[in-house]
Structure 1
Amino acid sequence: MSKHFDLPLTIDPEHELRFVGPFNRPVVTIMTLRNNSSLPLVFKIKTTAPKRYCVRPNIGKIMPFRTTQVEICLQPFIYDQQEKNKHKFMVQSVLAPVDADLNDLNKLWKELEPEQLMDAKLKCVFEMPSSEANAESTSGGGASGVGSGSAGGGSVGANTSSASAEALENKPQLSGEDKLVVPQMQPPIPADTAEYVESLTGEINSLRETNRELRKEVLQLKDQITRYRSSPAVKQVNEPYAPVLAEKQIPVFYIAIAIAAAIFSLLLGKFFL
């Protein structure tokens, strides 16, 4: 045990992160990190599947001879036993320089050289419990989680220092599909996923109904505008002006000529008579 604590950082569990189903809800596992040195230690956690996990914190510091816990939450998904799981986590750590600013860890991490980092890789294991284990988890799920964590701690103590040193010195060789990315510290999806999805579906349906009503109103307005423009009572913009009084003055003019002709004929008759 004393040889094991000669390493700057110890991880519990050391090699595997176990997630026990059912996986239709968020599943949380705890990773414990311990700083065994007399200097502050800075760590950062990466994963090959950042969209599937939520890690809190994904970067942090550990004061000398202190311990911190990292919460890793697996988001709900459809579990298939035939599907081969290739998810991996990597814990990178470094002893902070004496003059380092520990208030801005992201800036400090960017200034570090890759050769200064110590790496440790863990793989993810998914387990679907039996009917008995499922019944026990509903009555006392918290106790089982603590038990598994303590069992992982015992296995860490049983390993030799040479094997642990090799895991920290040799960086894991990752293929293109195993690219490690720092997961976001986003809140997990609510446990009542079905109710959440149902509420979103109701909102989408109401928005679609509102959209249909607005389309109907737009069509009605277009129809009214078309009928208004095609109506003969409406005067067009370029139509020439034709006064109405001119149409009424034409018969008056003819009446005046007829009266003048009658008067002229009466005068002419009196003159000849």
Structure 2
Amino acid sequence: MSKLDQVLILDPPSDLRFKGPFTDVVTANLKLKNPSDRRVCFKVKTTAPRRYCVRPNSGVIDPGAAVNISVMLQPFDYDPNEKSKHKFMVQTIFIPSNVSDNDTVWKDAKPEDLMDSKLRCVFELPSENEVNDVEVTRAAPVINSLKSEPTAAAAVGDDMEVKKLLEKCKRLQSDINKLSEENRQLKDEGMRMRKMQPRPDHMTSNSTNIVGRETSAAFLPSLLVVIAAIFIGFFFGKFIL
């Protein structure tokens, strides 16, 4: 009696392709679809069980349903001159309507009831352009971290400059307040001197001294205001605009 044809539709149908480099685990995907109106049991077998990890490696597929299988190739030293002899086989069987245990299905299976499909393993090395793309992708996080370090350092430096300028502005404001107080005291002293009505020969001298002191006191706050305005303008121009 001839064997039954495979009821499942395999994608890919004949080859499992694994693309290197093979220094890490490489995964190939296999899709099994059941187009029939009966439940099907399946098993995935390989000629090199120590080299592969298959998830899931067995199960049941309902009518019209599909299962995705991951075939993971373990890292190894790849020799391009060595041809791959690894193969996979997908073995299936219809589940009888009166059986619910999958293990019983396989134990009671007759050779003529089994269906199978074979797939060969193909190893491929990436092209030079693909290798360069992978290296750039792996290096990107490192490059981005290096770029962010100067930015962070610049931000810290800017914060220090802001603090220094604020401290200078506070000192200037304190000096302006002190000079304003001295100016007010000088004005009060001038008023008292005018009320005392000194002799004519002394009046001119005292008035000159008072006017000179008032002019000096008035000039100093104005100068400090200008300096403060320059610092504040520099601050806003550099760190806000």
- Paired with 1:66 and 1:24, the residues of 2 have a C-alpha distance of 35
**Partner residue of 2:215?**
none
- Report the equivalent of 1:68: 67
Higher-RCO chain (CA-CA 8 Å, sequence separation at least 6): 1
TM-score scaled by length of structure 2: 0.52
Contact 1:31/1:69 (CA < 8 Å) preserved in 2? yes
Work out which of the residue numbers 121, 124, 139 in structure 2 matches 1:127.
Answer: 124
Residue 14 (structure 1) aligns with: 13
Identify the residue that residue 34 of structure 2 maps to in structure 1. Answer: 35
Unaligned runs of 5+ in 1: 1-5, 141-273
Contact 1:59 1:105 survives alignment (8 Å): no
Amino acid at match of 1:22: P
2:121 aligns to what SS in structure 1? strand
Structure 2: state its 5+ residue gaps: 138-241
Distance 1:82 1:116, change over 3 A: same
The AA in structure 2 aligned to 1:56 is: R
Instruction: Give 2:239's aligned residue.
Output: none
Q: Please provide the CA RMSD for this pair.
A: 2.1
Q: Using the TM superposition, give the Cα deviation of residue 138 of structure 1 relative to its aligned residue in structure 2, in angstroms.
A: 6.3
Whose helix fraction is larger, Structure 1's or Structure 2's? 2
Say how many residue pairs are matched.
134
- Tell me the distance in 2 between the aligned counterparts of 1:39 and 1:138: 48
TM-superposed CA distance for 1:7, in Å, is 6.3
Contact 1:40–1:96 (CA under 8 A) maintained in structure 2 = yes
Preserved CA contact (<8 Å) 2:6 2:116: no
**1:38-85: CA deviation from partner (whole Å, max 9, x where unpaired):** 111111111110000000111111010011101100000000001121
Instruction: Assess, with a 3 A threshold, how the Cα gap between structure 1 residues 138 and 100 changes in structure 2: closer, same or farther.
Output: farther
Task: Tell me whether 1:87 sits opposite 2:90 in the alignment.
Answer: no
Match of 2:55 in 1: 56
Paired with 2:135 and 2:95, the residues of 1 have a C-alpha distance of 43
Residue 114 (1) aligns with residue 111 (2): yes
SS in 1 for 2:131: helix
Counterparts of 2:39 and 2:133, CA distance in 1 = 41
The one-letter amino acid paired with 2:38 is L
- CA distance in structure 2 between the partners assigned to 1:131 and 1:45 by the alignment: 34
